[in-house]
């Protein structure tokens, strides 16, 4: 499998007079699994589609393996895209769906056959090769869509929310399979999702986008432990980081302070005092939603169970080293 780098320099996108991507610089290394995340409308899909050649680049330079590809059609960029909707041909069998792109590219039949069989073995869909897509489950269809990308032996795989039509259990399974596939193929992969668990578990490198700009780039755990801004701190981590402003924050010489739910514990002498609004007992852990008066609503995540009725008084403490501080512009104070 070929490994290619992808470089973006000053990439911009305008729809008419509307600027949606404001000039993105990004280096994706050969074999890297890069995930674009960000809230709805931040430009993830637009950026991916520009790399794919499905959307024109308004300005800037895009190169793949050192070659500027801005003006190359999608079919000549050496990329293969997997869509959320699978985009399979309904009247073609699984085999023909996977073989079609290669037939068009005039790849010899025995070579097509070899590639389709190899990819279907990897994806464990060999027994479905004669079926039509409608006779497959969602997860099997998505495997066919991934297989269609694999047989093309692309320089770069592009995934646009490929798991979002699957139910929770299947998503988890396919997530693990995708990561295994990446290890096995060693190919460069770019993946768009709004699911931060997918981002955290799949990515070598996460690109957090905010309103058409790169907010932060980093390894998943680096973003989690060292978010550069309030935006990233709030976006990475579930349940979300608690943010507190006002006097509580100014005591720490910050405009806003942040505390992750897992860093709060029940502590009779703790500084966060309030009333338990509601708790969710998941068996191995508990989420406690606390009304902390002027501090706002605070979420705490605890191991095990919490034997406390809603309406009870509760006090929470934390280790000061877990406090995140942000200035008035939302930048992290280190
Ligand atoms: N064809 C278009 N014409 C005009 N504006 C567009 C067009 N396509 C996208 N946009 C705008 O560009 C911005 C980025 O859209 P994009 O689909 O890339 O966001 P996204 O981060 O992928 O969002 P989501 O997670 O909801 O899919 C949005 O504000 C969107 O309204």
Cα torsion 299, 218, 5, 64: sign: positive
Which of 11, 13, 15, 193 for a ligand 1 pocket mutation test, highest count of atoms within 8 Å of Cβ?
A: 15
Q: How far apart are the first and last CA of the chain?
A: 42
Query: Torsions phi, psi of 100, nearest 5?
Result: -55, -50
Evaluate whether the domain defined by 6-232 bears CATH number 3.40.50.300: yes
Two structure tokens written together for 214: 């790169």
Rounded distance, CA 41 to CA 68, Å? Answer: 27
In terms of Cα–Cα distance, which of 110, 86, 276 is closest to 164? 86
With a Cβ cut-off of 6 Å, ligand 1 is lined by 15, 18, 20, 38, 40-46, 194
For position 34, what pLDDT does the model report? 98
- Ligand 1 center to 17 CA (angstroms): 14
For position 2, what pLDDT does the model report? 61
Fold classification of 239-333 (topology level): OB fold (Dihydrolipoamide Acetyltransferase, E2P) (2.40.50)
Residue 288: pLDDT band by 50, 70, 90 thresholds?
very high
Q: Is 283 exposed, middle or buried (0-12, 13-18, 19+ CB in 10 A)?
A: exposed
Query: Torsions phi, psi of 261, nearest 5?
Result: -50, -35
Cβ atoms of 252 and 323 within 8 Å: the answer is: yes
pTM of the predicted structure, to 2 decimals: 0.91
CATH 2.40.50.140 region(s) of the chain?
A: 239-333
In this predicted model, what pLDDT tens digit does every residue of 42-73 receive, in sequence order?
Answer: 999 999 999 999 999 999 999 999 999 999 99
CATH 3.40.50.300 region(s) of the chain?
A: 6-232
| CB atoms near residue 127 (< 10 Å) | 10
Rounded distance, CA 75 to CA 64, Å? Answer: 13
Rounded distance, CA 103 to CA 185, Å? Answer: 23
In this predicted model, what pLDDT tens digit does every residue of 218-233 receive, in sequence order?
Answer: 999 999 999 999 999 9
Cα torsion 109, 112, 118, 119: sign: negative
In this predicted model, what pLDDT tens digit does every residue of 80-102 receive, in sequence order?
Answer: 999 888 889 999 999 999 999 89
Two structure tokens written together for 233: 């701190």
Cβ atoms of 62 and 11 within 8 Å: the answer is: yes
* Ligand 1 atom closest to 194 (CA): 25
């Amino acid at each position: 499998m070929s490994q290619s780098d992808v470089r973006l320099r000053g990439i911009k996108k305008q729809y008419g007079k509307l600027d949606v991507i404001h000039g993105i610089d990004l280096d994706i290394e050969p074999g890297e699994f890069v995930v674009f995340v960000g809230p709805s409308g931040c430009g993830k899909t637009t950026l991916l589609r520009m790399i794919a050649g499905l959307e024109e680049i308004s300005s800037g330079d895009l190169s793949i393996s050192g070659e500027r590809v801005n003006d190359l059609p999608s079919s000549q960029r050496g990329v293969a895209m997997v869509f959320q909707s699978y985009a399979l041909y309904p009247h073609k069998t699984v085999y023909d769906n996977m073989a079609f792109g290669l037939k068009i590219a005039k790849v010899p039949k025995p070579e097509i056959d070899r590639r389709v069989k190899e990819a279907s073995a990897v994806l464990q869909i060999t027994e479905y090769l004669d079926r039509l897509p409608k006779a497959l489950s969602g997860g099997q269809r998505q495997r066919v869509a991934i297989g269609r990308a694999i047989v093309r032996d692309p320089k770069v795989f592009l995934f646009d929310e490929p798991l979002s039509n699957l139910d929770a259990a299947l998503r988890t399974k396919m997530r693990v399979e995708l990561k295994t596939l990446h290890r096995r193929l060693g190919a460069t992969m770019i993946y768009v999702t709004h699911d931060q668990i997918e981002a955290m578990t799949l990515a070598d490198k996460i690109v957090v986008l905010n309103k058409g700009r790169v907010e932060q780039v980093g390894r998943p755990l680096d973003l989690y432990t060292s978010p550069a801004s309030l935006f990233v701190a709030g976006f990475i981590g579930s349940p979300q980081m608690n943010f507190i402003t006002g006097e509580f924050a100014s005591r720490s010489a910050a405009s806003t302070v942040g505390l992750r739910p897992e860093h709060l514990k029940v502590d009779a002498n703790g500084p966060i005092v309030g009333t338990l609004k509601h708790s969710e007992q998941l068996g191995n852990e508990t989420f406690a939603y606390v009304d902390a008066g002027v501090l706002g609503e605070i979420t705490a995540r605890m191991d095990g169970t919490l034997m406390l009725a809603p309406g009870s008084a509760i006090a929470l403490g934390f280790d000061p080293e877990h406090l995140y501080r942000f200035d008035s512009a939302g930048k992290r104070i280190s």
